[in-house]
């Protein structure tokens, strides 16, 4: 059985490599605050990949195989749950782990790669 790539492997993709030519990932005024509500960008879908024995992020030009940590974060990026609630849910699911900085780092990288956008909350 092949081991899923680590988060560092997933994040090694060059920034903006998955964006359409000329698309600016900052056009949605991404603000990674506790009240932001991240969601997958249109055209991206998270699903279980039986061949990969793990979650994959699908997009029109291909896919990214995710490790369990990345999948757990993206499963909660529904555009309704704030980053604060997302971190709280992960802390509840994985007690004893201090995940907040990892979640912020992953969300920032996910946005830089063009996977996620944010709905701001006032």
pLDDT in tens, 56-115: 999 998 999 999 999 999 999 999 999 999 999 999 999 988 899 999 999 999 999 999
Over 60: is that where the pLDDT of 9 sits? no
Q: Residue 52 has what pLDDT? A: 85
pLDDT in tens, 14-66: 333 334 444 454 454 467 899 999 999 999 999 998 988 999 999 998 999 99
Specify the CATH class of 30-117 in words. Answer: alpha beta
DSSP conformation letters of the chain: -PPPPPHHHHTTSPTTTTSPTT--GGGG-----TT-EEEEPTT-EEEEETTTTEEEEEETTEEEE--HHHHHHHHT-BSSS-HHHHHHHHHHHSTT---HHHHHHHHHHHHHTTSEEEE---
Domain residue spans in the chain? 30-117
């Amino acid at each position: 059985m092949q081991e899923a790539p680590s988060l560092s492997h997933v994040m090694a993709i060059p920034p903006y490599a998955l964006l359409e030519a000329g698309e600016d990932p900052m056009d949605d005024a991404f603000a990674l605050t506790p009240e932001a509500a991240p969601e997958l960008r249109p055209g991206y879908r998270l699903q279980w990949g039986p061949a990969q024995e793990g979650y994959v992020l699908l997009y029109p030009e291909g896919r990214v195989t995710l490790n369990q940590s990345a999948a757990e974060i993206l499963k909660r990026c529904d555009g309704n749950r704030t980053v604060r609630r997302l971190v709280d849910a992960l802390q509840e699911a994985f007690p004893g782990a201090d995940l907040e900085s990892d979640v912020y780092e992953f969300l920032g990288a996910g946005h830089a790669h063009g996977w996620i956008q944010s709905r701001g909350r006032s």
